[in-house]
Amino acid sequence: MPSNLTELFSLDGQVAIITGGTGVLGGAMAHGLAQAGARVGILGRRRERAETVVAEIERAGGEALALPADVMDQVQLESARAAVLDRWGRIDILVNAAGGNVPAATLSPDRRFWDLPREAFAQVFELNLLGTLLPSQIFGAAMIQGRGDEPPHGCIVNISSMAAQRAITRVVGYGAAKAAVDNFTRWLAVELGRSHGAGMRVNAIAPGFFIGEQNRDLLLNADNSLTQRGQTIIDHTPAGRFGEPDELISTLIWLCSPGARFVNGVVVPVDGGFSAFSGV
Ligand SMILES: NC(=O)c1ccc[n+]([C@@H]2O[C@H](COP(=O)([O-])OP(=O)(O)OC[C@H]3O[C@@H](n4cnc5c(N)ncnc54)[C@H](O)[C@@H]3O)[C@@H](O)[C@H]2O)c1
């Protein structure tokens, strides 16, 4: 049992992997994990981008490893797991941040619900759900092996979205996929807790609206003023602004830390109040 607040929230000595650690939100969370003392595997499709994040973490005094892999590719994920075990010998934390919307699955005046291509729906659904499930299987399998006499110990944090809980116009496949991620979070929390004990936990963070690579053009005009959609979002966010990527860090650290050892199967909104507001 940790004896003070620092220990309660410390990730010292732990090994974390973050998929999509090359992205806007994943990159910020990767830095946060390293600041809390974890050694961090940065998993992303492009080696150069992963190496850039690794170099930034190392410059800040942390330890990190680039893991080029596609979350939809089992063989590449297994190679990434082997690389982490070879370097650090254990895996304690998995953050599933790879994901997002797919342009072809976004509705518009020219692409109404009736025109939505089945393939585009399947693509966005698979990226967000299977792209969370496969890394959970492959890295989770290393967590449950335990270390010596220690019982299995591990923490998975999935990155969901407000689109899971509220109907967000135009992104039907993305919303369905993130709702499935919420359900999978609860399912896996129950499965791992019952099968492998209280040391195994699975939770999720549901970010509100942050400016990322994928949604920038939907939310901001070229001169950085708000698009109509961006303004509607701000009008429905009691905080009156978009989130800053760094604002996800403290919730992530809390969920991964010894302080959250009795927190399992929850989806925590970090949304400036968006999910609480009826719009009236
Ligand atoms: N930005 C937001 O407002 C927001 C809100 C709610 C939820 N989210 C979720 O947060 C997560 C991160 O989003 P972001 O805004 O930082 O987006 P982003 O595009 O900046 O980052 C996503 C990262 O995932 C990587 N990625 C995508 N497909 C991959 C694959 N098949 N294999 C490996 N890596 C892959 C991308 O290369 C990128 O580095 C996503 O799951 C997204 O759905 C974002």
Report the pLDDT averaged over residues 222-251: 97
Q: Tell me what the mean pLDDT of segment 204-216 comes to.
A: 93
Q: In the predicted model, is pLDDT for residue 11 greater than 90? A: yes
68 is a catalytic site residue: no
Q: Which atom of ligand 1 is nearest to the CA of 162?
A: 6
**Contact predicate 243/207, CB 8 Å:** yes
Task: Tell me the one-letter amino acid at 109.
Answer: P
Whole-angstrom distance, CA of residue 274 vs CA of residue 165: 11
Q: Could you count the other beta carbons within 10 Å of the beta carbon of residue 202?
A: 27
Ligand 1 atom showing the smallest separation from residue 128 Cα: 41
Q: How far is the CA of 22 from the centre of ligand 1 (A)?
A: 9
Torsion angle defined by CA atoms of residues 26, 32, 33 and 39, in that order, rounded to the nearest 10 degrees: 100
Contact criterion met (CB below 8 Å) for 102 and 121: no
Contact 238, 272 (CB under 8 A): yes
Task: Give me the residue spans of the domains in the chain.
Answer: 5-208+246-272, 215-242
Three-state DSSP class for 16? Answer: strand
Edge to edge, what strands does the sheet with 39-44 contain?
A: 64-68, 39-44, 15-19, 93-96, 154-159, 200-207, 267-270
Residue reference for tokens 């650690």: 21
3-state secondary structure of 205: strand
Give the pLDDT confidence score for residue 134 in this predicted structure. Answer: 98
Closest CA to 23 of 211, 217, 208: 211
Percent of the chain with pLDDT over 90: 94
* d(CA 96, ligand 1 centre) in Å: 9
> What are the pocket residues of ligand 1 if the criterion is a CB atom closer than 6 Å to any ligand atom?
19-20, 22-26, 44-45, 70-72, 97-100, 127, 131, 159, 161, 207, 209-210, 212-215
Which member of 9, 125, 174, 210 is catalytic? 174
CATH number of this structure's domain 5-208+246-272, picked from the four choices 3.30.565.10, 3.80.30.20, 3.90.950.10, 3.40.50.720: 3.40.50.720
Mean pLDDT of the chain: 96
- What 3-state class would DSSP assign to 65? strand
Reported as a single tens digit per residue, the pLDDT across 175-209 is: 999 999 999 999 999 999 999 999 999 999 999 99
What's the gap in Å between 136 CA and the centre of ligand 1? 16
Q: What predicted TM-score, i.e. pTM, was given to this entire model?
A: 0.97
**Residue 51: per-residue pLDDT:** 98
Residues 6+ apart with CB under 8 A from 270: 205, 206, 207, 208, 243, 247, 248, 251
Q: Which two tokens stand for residue 220?
A: 């901001």
Question: What is the spatial distance between Cα 263 and Cα 198, in angstroms, rounded to a whole number?
Answer: 10
- CA gap 30, 19 in Å, rounded: 9
Q: Is 15 helix (H, G, I), strand (E, B) or coil?
A: strand
